Structure 1
Amino acid sequence: MSRVDHMDVAAYALGVLDEQDMERFEEHLATCWACAAELESMVPVVGLLSDIDEESITAMEQTQSNPVLLDRTLGALRTHRRRARFRQVLATAAAVVVFGGLTGVGFASLTDDSAPPNPYAGPSTGVPLDPPTNRPGNPGDPGFGGNAQEGDQRNVTDPSTGVEATFFLISKDFGTKVDFTLGRLPGPRTCRLVVVRENASSEVISTWTVPPGGYGTNSNPQRLVLSATTSTKLDDVKHFEVQSVDDKGVASPLVRVPAT
C-alpha cells in the first residue's frame, strides 16, 4: 500500500475522509497492523475531541492558533458528532483487534477502561440452610418465621408463677447450647439461668435484668430471647431452672425446664 494510505489514519479517525477514500482505507486497515495500532491509539483522543464545543475552539483562535488548522478541526468535530459514523469507526477497529487476536497479535481494549465491569452472580458458598421441620413453634421462639431452630424443643408454663418458657437444647462437642425465650415475665427483677446436673450439682450459666414493663406482658408484649452455654453434656443435665434473685441474693424458682 502507498504511504498515503498509512497517513490517512488520523483523517479516518476524525471522519473527514470522503466515502471513496474511507472504503479504500478500510480495505487497507484490514491487512495493515501498523495502521490498526495507530488507529487504536487515536480513539481516546477522538473521544476527547467530541467533548470540545465550538466556542472553546473559537477561544483558541483568539490565542493565535493556526486558522487553517482551526477550520479543519471544526469541520472534523461536526463530522465526528454524527454518532452513527463514530460507532462504525469503533466497530471497524474492534474487528481488526479480533482478527489480530486470532493471528496471535493482540491490542489493548478499545472500550473505556473507566466503565465498571458487569456484575457476576456466582454460586452461593454460604452455610447450607437447616432442613425444614414440622415441629410446632410459638411466635416468640428463636428462629420463628425463618429457618428451623436447631435443637430439641421444650415448652413449659409454670403453674405457680405463670412464666412461659420455650427452650431449644443443642448438644455440642464443648457441652450444651441453650436458646430460649421467656414470656409473662414481670419486672423489675434480676434473673438467672441455672443448669442442674444428674449428680445434683448446679451451675449459673446466664444472668440478666428485667425492666419494669417485663417481657411478654401487657406492658411489653415482646418476649425475652437469650442464649447460653454450659460445658455440661446434655446427657448429664437433669433440668434447667430460671430463677428470680432478690437484693439479698436469695433465689426463687420461676420456671423449670426438663432436659428430657
Structure 2
Amino acid sequence: MSRVDHMDVAAYALGVLDAQDMERFEEHLASCWACAAELETMVPVVGLLSDIDAESVTALEQTHSNPILLDRTLVAMRTHRRRARFRQILATAAAVVVFGGVTGVVFSNLADGGTAPPPVAGPTLGTLEPPNSRPGNPGDPGQGGTEQEGKQVNATDPETGVQATFFLDSKDFGTNVAFTLAKLPGPRECRLVVVRKDASTEIISSWAVPPDGYGTISNPQRLALSAATSSKLDDVKHFQVEQVDSKGVGTPLVTVPAN
C-alpha cells in the first residue's frame, strides 16, 4: 500500500473521506496493524480535531514533504486559534458588560463570596379606595377609619346642645349600637337607655365624663362608644343619653329616634 494510503488514518478518523475512499481504507485497515494502532491512538483526540475539515487534512499531508510549509502551517494555525480565542473572549466580555449592567450588584456579591440580595418588589399600580365613602360629619364614627355598619342617625338637643351620631345595625341577637357624642361637658356620669315602643326601658351602657368633657373647646375629641341590646330595632322607639345624678335619677341630654 502506498504512503498516501497510510496518511488516510487521520482523514478516516475525522470522517472526511468519501464513501469509496472510506471503503478502500477499511479494507487496508483490516490487514495493516500499523494503521490500526495509529487509529486507536487518535480516538481520544478525535473530538479535538473534529473542527478540522478535509482541506486542512490535505494541507497537513502536504507539509510532511515540505518542512517549510509545515512551519508556516503551524504558525498559521496557532495564529488562527489565538484570534479565535481572542474573539471568544471579546464576545464573552461583551455579554458580561450587557448582562452586568443589569445584575452588577449580583456579580459583586458573588465575587465577594456573599449572597445576592433578594429581589425587591416593584410598585403595583392600582386605585386605592378611601376607607370610608359614606358622607357624614367629620366626627362621625368611621370618618377617617373603618366604616361603621348600620343606619346612621344624627341628632342635636336644642336645649343641652349635646350632639349625637348613632349607627343602628339590626342583628340576629337584637341591635348593635355604635355612637359618638360631642358638646358634652363634664364632669358628670351618663348612660344610654333603650326606650321600647311598649314603654319599657333598658340601660345598655354607662360611662363617666372627665372635667374637660368630649367634643368641647378644652377637649375637641368626641366620645366614641358601642353597645348592644337584645331588642329588635323594629321594637325600639328611641335611644336616650341621660345624665345620672347621685341618686341614680336620669335627666335626658339628647334623644335619638330609632326609625
* CA–CA separation in structure 1 for the residues paired with 2:95 and 2:181: 71
Q: 2:118: which partner in 1?
A: 116
Q: 1:247 deviation in Å? A: 3.4
Change (3 A) 1:18 1:161: farther
Question: Does residue 246 of the first structure (1) align with residue 255 of the second (2)?
Answer: no
Counterpart CA distance in 2 for 1:161 and 1:90 is 75
C-alpha separation in 2, matches of 1:228 and 1:19: 87
Q: State the secondary structure of the residue aligned to 1:187.
A: coil
Residue identity (%):
56
Q: Secondary structure at the match of 2:193?
A: strand
**Aligned 1:147-158 pairs, distance under 5 A:** 149-158=148-157
The aligned counterpart of 1:2 is 48
Q: Structure 1 residues 24 and 165 mapped into 2: Cα distance closer, same or farther (>3 Å)? A: closer
Structure 2 unaligned regions, length at least 5? 1-46, 50-80, 101-106
Given that 2:193 and 2:202 are in contact with CA atoms closer than 8 Å, whether structure 1 keeps it comes out as yes
Question: Where do 1:13-92 residues align within 5 Å?
Answer: 20-23=84-87, 87=96
Classify 1:233/1:186 alpha carbon distance in 2 versus 1 (closer, same or farther; 3 Å).
same
Distance in 1 between the 2:48 and 2:225 partners?
A: 85
Change (3 A) 1:114 1:200: farther
Tell me the SS of whatever aligns to 2:234. Answer: helix
1:139 aligns with 2:141: no
Aligned pairs for 1:128-207 within 5 A: 132-133=133-134, 137-144=136-143, 149-207=148-206
Higher helix share: 2
State the Cα distance separating 1:213 from its structure 2 match: 0.7
CA pair 210-130 structure 1, distance change in 2 beyond 3 A: same
Report SS of the residue matched to 2:96: helix
**TM, length-normalised to structure 1:** 0.52
Per-residue deviation at 1:259?
0.4
Report what 2:38 is aligned to.
none
CA distance in 1: counterparts of 2:98 and 2:160, whole angstroms:
84
Query: 2:96 corresponds to which letter in structure 1?
Result: R
Deviations 1:39-78 (A, max 9, x none): xxxxxxxxxxxxxxxxxxxxxxxxxxxxxxxxxxxxxxxx
- Following superposition, the deviation at residue 186 of structure 1 comes to 0.8
SS of structure 2 residue aligned to 1:21: helix
Judged with a 3 Å threshold, the aligned counterparts in structure 2 of structure 1 residues 123 and 203 are, in CA distance, closer, same or farther, namely: farther
Residue 233 of structure 1 corresponds to 232
Structure 1: runs of 5+ lacking an equivalent: 4-16, 30-83, 92-109
* Structure 1 residue 146, shift from structure 2 partner: 6.3
Residues 214, 223 of structure 2: 8 Å contact kept: yes
CA distance in 2, matches of 1:161, 1:25: 90
Q: Note the C-alpha offset of 1:165.
A: 1.2
Residue 221 of structure 2: aligned partner: 222
Output the TM-score relative to the length of structure 2.
0.52
- Please give the per-residue CA displacement for 1:163-190, whole angstroms capped at 9, x wherever unaligned: 1112121222332222212111110112
- SS for the counterpart of 1:229 is strand
Residues 169 and 129 (structure 1 numbering): CA distance in 2 closer, same or farther, change over 3 Å? farther
Distance in 2 (CA, whole Å) between partners of 1:142 and 1:131 is 10
Call closer, same or farther: CA 1:198–1:223 in 2, change over 3 Å. same
- Cα deviation for residue 123 of structure 1 reads 10
- Quickly say closer, same or farther: Cα 1:119–1:243, change in 2 above 3 A: same
CA contact 1:132–1:147 (8 Å) conserved in 2: no
Within 1, Cα distance between the matches of 2:140 and 2:132? 17
How far has the Cα of 1:240 moved from its partner? 0.8
